[in-house]
């Protein structure tokens, strides 16, 4: 694997080091997953192969007994199987099994794979129509989904759980109202609160049940969100082995490598090497991995407003300009895309955004780091 495609891993953060989260997956007693007093049940209804510009994956559709939404799973690797999909149905024929994507009866066992005993990459992703479908640059959701797919395709071992929780679970209509409030000067958190919604109303019990259906109980999670890590492991047999940070690609070039630490700790930047956590930064290009220490240090509203750039002239870049070349992070022998050619698909557009076009996404990321505790290093623009 080339340096450009290296996955930078962080051990679980210190706030997880308590009796509830440090047990090994094998020693945890399996207990039912409960949502509002109800045992969560999920069933994979169909699985189909999806070719895309970065390779291929299997798309699985789930029904559940909690809501009427059709949650999805992107599966990378032949060895990851669904128990409910492959369960035997009464009077089902072989062709009926094939139509819904289940293994035929004589091939129910997972295929041998070198990744079979490797902890999978897992991204628990909430639907974002604006960021993913119409390529809005108010947020980094499209990039995070595409980057997770890229890393899983390289590893041939991973799962994206795509939850239908639009707008941090307030729905598209309310999310668009929140956008109007943001255009009036409010940030993404305050906009939700002004609409009488929580800052983040998402839940992860269905994701827990899906992981159980896939027989995955130890994960390498791709996230910057400490709340997500805590909730996915809460009252479940799931253990987070490592956290892989989702650092925006447009921050990862030599022109934006000078980062400012948020109150929530350091996130590794693969373009620079910290010899130690401190003031000295080496110019070496070799990489170092960090263990985070989560702190509850606050930031004053004055500091926050300065970071967020309410003085509009302080915002980074010019949204009308584009860079002549995409960030070099994605030039990899493992990547099937030619990133020097014009974008031709939504996946390609999302995988290589440029810094000037992501000005509004940077404001969104600043808010998530400084108000919601997301673990991100903020560039000094």
Enumerate domains of the chain plus CATH numbers: 3-250+322-358 (3.40.50.10990)
**pLDDT tens-digit map of 296-313:** 333 333 443 343 333 333
For the ranges 42-51, 119-128, 322-331, the lowest mean pLDDT is seen at 322-331
pLDDT of residue 306: 43
How many Cβ atoms are within 10 Å of 43's Cβ, its own excluded? 16
- pLDDT score of 139 more than 50: yes
pLDDT digits (tens, 9 = 90+) for 276-289: 322 322 222 222 22
Show the DSSP H helices in the chain as ranges.
83-86, 94-99, 129-132, 141-155, 166-169, 172-183, 188-194, 205-213, 226-233, 301-308, 346-351, 359-371
* Cβ burial 114-144 (10 Å sphere, 16+ → b, else e): ebeeebbbbbbbbbbebbbeeebbbbbbbbb
Please write the tens of the pLDDT for every residue from 46-55. Answer: 999 999 988 9
Q: What is the pLDDT of residue 287?
A: 27
CB burial of residue 145 (10 Å; 0-12, 13-18, 19+): buried
Please report how many Cα atoms fall inside a 13 Å half-sphere around the Cα of residue 138, on the Cβ side. Answer: 18
What's the predicted TM-score (pTM) here?
A: 0.72
Mean pLDDT for 308-337 is 33
Supply the DSSP string of 68-105, one letter for each residue: S--EEEEEESTT---HHHHSPPTT--HHHHHHTTPPPG
Predicted pLDDT at 329: 32
pLDDT at 288: 25
Q: What pLDDT shows up at residue 233?
A: 94
**How is residue 55 written in tokens?**
């390779």
* pLDDT tens digits along 141-171: 999 999 999 999 999 999 999 999 999 999 9
Condensed to tens digits (0 to 9), the pLDDT of residues 231-255 reads: 999 999 999 999 999 988 888 764 5
Q: What letter does residue 276 receive in the DSSP assignment?
A: S
Exposure string over 273-299, b if 16+ CB within 10 A, otherwise e: ebeeeeeeeeeeeeebebebebeeeeb
Residue 63, pLDDT above cutoff 50: yes
How much is the average pLDDT of 63-83? Answer: 96
Just list the catalytic residues.
200, 202
List, as one string, the DSSP characters of 186-234.
--HHHHHHHTT--S-----HHHHHHHHHTT--EEEEE-S-HHHHHHHHT
Compare 100 and 299 and report the one with higher pLDDT: 100
The model's confidence at residue 109, banded by pLDDT at 50, 70 and 90, is low
With 70 as the cut, is the pLDDT of residue 61 above it? yes
């Amino acid at each position: 694997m080339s340096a450009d495609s290296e996955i930078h891993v962080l051990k679980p953060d210190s706030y997880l080091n308590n009796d509830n989260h440090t047990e090994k997956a094998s020693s945890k007693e399996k207990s039912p997953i409960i949502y509002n007093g109800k045992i969560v049940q999920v069933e994979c209804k169909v699985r189909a192969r999806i070719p895309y510009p970065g390779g291929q994956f299997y798309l699985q559709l789930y029904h559940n007994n909690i809501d009427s939404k059709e949650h999805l799973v992107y599966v990378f690797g032949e060895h990851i199987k669904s128990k409910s999909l492959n369960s035997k149905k009464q009077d089902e024929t072989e062709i009926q099994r094939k139509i819904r994507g289940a293994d035929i009866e004589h091939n129910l066992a997972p295929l041998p794979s070198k990744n079979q005993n490797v902890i999978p990459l897992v991204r628990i992703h909430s639907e974002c129509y604006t960021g993913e479908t119409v390529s809005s640059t108010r947020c980094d959701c499209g990039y995070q989904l595409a980057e997770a797919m890229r890393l899983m395709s390289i590893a041939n071992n991973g799962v994206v759980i795509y939850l239908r929780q639009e707008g941090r679970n307030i729905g598209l209509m309310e999310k668009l109202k929140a956008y109007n409030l943001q255009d009036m000067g409010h940030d993404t958190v305050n906009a939700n609160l002004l609409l009488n919604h929580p800052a983040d109303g998402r839940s992860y019990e269905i994701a827990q049940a899906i992981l159980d259906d896939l027989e995955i109980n130890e994960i390498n999670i791709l996230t910057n969100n400490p709340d997500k890590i805590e909730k996915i492991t809460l009252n479940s047999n799931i253990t987070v082995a490592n956290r892989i940070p989702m650092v925006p690609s447009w921050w990862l070039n030599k022109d934006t490598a000078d980062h400012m630490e948020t109150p929530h700790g350091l996130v590794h930047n693969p373009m620079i090497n910290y010899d130690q956590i401190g003031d000295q930064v080496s110019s070496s290009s070799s990489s170092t991995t960090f263990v985070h220490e989560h702190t509850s240090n606050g930031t004053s509203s004055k500091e926050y407003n300065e970071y967020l750039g309410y003085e509009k002239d302080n915002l980074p870049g010019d949204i009308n300009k584009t860079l002549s070349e995409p960030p070099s992070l994605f030039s990899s022998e493992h990547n099937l895309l030619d990133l020097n050619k014009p974008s031709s698909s939504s996946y390609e557009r999302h995988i290589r955004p440029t810094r000037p076009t992501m000005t509004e996404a940077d404001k969104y990321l600043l808010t998530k780091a400084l108000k919601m505790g997301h673990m991100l290093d903020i560039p000094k623009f």
